[in-house]
Amino acid sequence: MDIQLTHHARFGGCAAKIGPGDLSNVLCGIDIPEDPNVIVGLKGFEDAGVYRISDDLAVVQTVDFFTPVVNDPYWFGGIAAANALSDIYAMGARPITALNIVCFSPKKFGIPVLREILRGGIDKVRESGTSLLGGHSVDDEEIKYGLSVTGLVHPERIVRNEGARPGDRLILTKPLGSGILITGLKGGRISKKTETRLVEVMATLNRRASEAMLSVSAHAATDVTGFGLAGHLKEMIKESLGAEVYADNLPYFPEARALSAEGFLPSGLYRNRDFYAPFVEAGISGFPLNLIFDPQSSGGLLIALPEDEVDGFAQEASRLSVDYWMIGSFVEEPKGRIRIR
C-alpha cells in the first residue's frame, strides 16, 4: 500500500516551487477566472476554498481522497473521511454536506470490501453532523476513497493558515509519527496495541479541537497532513515570520522511535526533508527530525494562539477532552525559518 497523499498538491505558485512534488506549479500560466466573492481561492494555499454568499455567510469547499493507510476497510473509510473533514475544521468552519469519492475494482476486491469502506466513511460523516448527499465512483485497480466536503463559516470568522504573530504559542492536537507507524504496519512490525491506538488517533475528527480553537481568538490554523509538521508550519510562517519548535515537547506514538531507528521511514518523509530542510535550523538529528518531516494521515490541528488566549483554550480543550501540546512559538526572526530547540 502506498500512503502518499494526493492531498494539498500546490496549485498556483508560479515564481518558485512552493511545495514538494511535480504538481506544485502545474496551473502556472493558465488563466483562472476571477470573482470578487472568492475569499480564499487558488492563491492562498489554504486548507479549503471559501466563497462569499452574503455578508454573514460563506461556503467552504474541500476535497481529499487517498489510498489505504490501514488494512481494515472500515477504518480506512473512517480515517479517509476524518481526513477530508479536517480541512473544514482547520478553517474554523462547520461541515454541512459531503459527497463520496470512490476508486474501486469490484472484480478485484469484491463489493463487501467497498461496503465496509463506505460504512466507515459514513459513520464519520454522521459523527460530524454532516449530510451525505451522494458521490461518484470509478473502476480502478488501486483503491482510493475520500470525500468532497462543503461547510459554512462567517466570512469574518475564517481561520487561515497565515495570520500568526510573533509571540503566539504553537499548539498541536494529535501526536506525530503516523507515517512512520504506517510504514511499520506495512512491514508487519507494529504491535496490535499500537495499531489500535494509531487507528483511533487518525480516525478522530478534528471537530472538538476546532471547537476549542473557536472558543478563543486564534490567529491562524492548519492541519498537519502530507507535508508533515515542517511543511505545514512553513505554510503558516511563509516568509513573514519565524517559528521555534521545542523538540522535547513534540508528542509522538512511542513505537515510532524504534521504527525510525530501524529505518521504517515513508518515502514522503524523504521528499518532505529534501524540500523543507533548507528552511529548518536544527541542532539535533535523528528521531525528532524524522518526526517533523513525517507525512501525517489525518493529523491534528496546528494552531497559532496569542499568549493571553492560552488559558481559555486549555479550559475549553479539557472540557471537550481534546488532547493538545504546546510545541513551540512564533518569532519575529529569522523570517521564513523553523528553528528546532
Residues 6 or more apart whose Cβ sits within 8 Å of residue 215: 312, 313, 316
Q: Pick one of 11, 59, 66, 87: the residue that binds Co ion (CB under 5 A).
A: 87
Q: Is 64 in the site for Co ion (CB under 5 A)?
A: yes
Which residue, judged by CB position, is nearest to Co ion in the bound state?
47
**How many Å apart are CA 42 and CA 49, to the nearest integer?**
8
C-beta of 222 vs 329, nearer to Co ion: 222
* Least distance CB 191 / Co ion (angstroms): 29
C-beta of 169 vs 232, nearer to Co ion: 232
Query: x/- contact string, 23-52, with Co ion (CB under 5 A)?
Result: ------------------------x-----
What are the E-state strand segments in the chain?
Answer: 38-40, 49-54, 57-66, 94-103, 131-138, 144-153, 169-172, 220-223, 242-245, 280-282, 301-305, 325-331, 338-340
Q: Pick one of 7, 94, 207, 337: the residue that binds Co ion (CB under 5 A).
A: 7
* Least distance CB 319 / Co ion (angstroms): 25
Asked if omega into 334 is within 30° of 0 (cis), the reply is yes
* Least distance CB 286 / Co ion (angstroms): 27
**How many Å apart are CA 52 and CA 287, to the nearest integer?**
44
Catalytic residue among 2, 14, 187, 254: 14
Q: Pick one of 223, 255, 294, 309: the residue that binds Co ion (CB under 5 A).
A: 223
C-beta of 62 vs 329, nearer to Co ion: 62
- Cβ neighbours around 50 below 10 Å, total: 24
Torsion over CA: 253, 259, 261, 263 (sign): negative
Q: Binding-site residue total for Co ion (CB under 5 A)?
A: 6
Say if CB 103 and CB 44 are below 8 A apart. no
Candidates 4-12, 145-153, 280-288, 315-323: pick the segment binding Co ion (CB under 5 A).
4-12
103 is a catalytic site residue: no
Say if CB 327 and CB 171 are below 8 A apart. yes
DSSP lists the bridge partners of residue 152 as: 59, 94
- Which residues carry out catalysis? 14
Residues of this chain that bind Co ion (CB under 5 A): 7-8, 47, 64, 87, 223
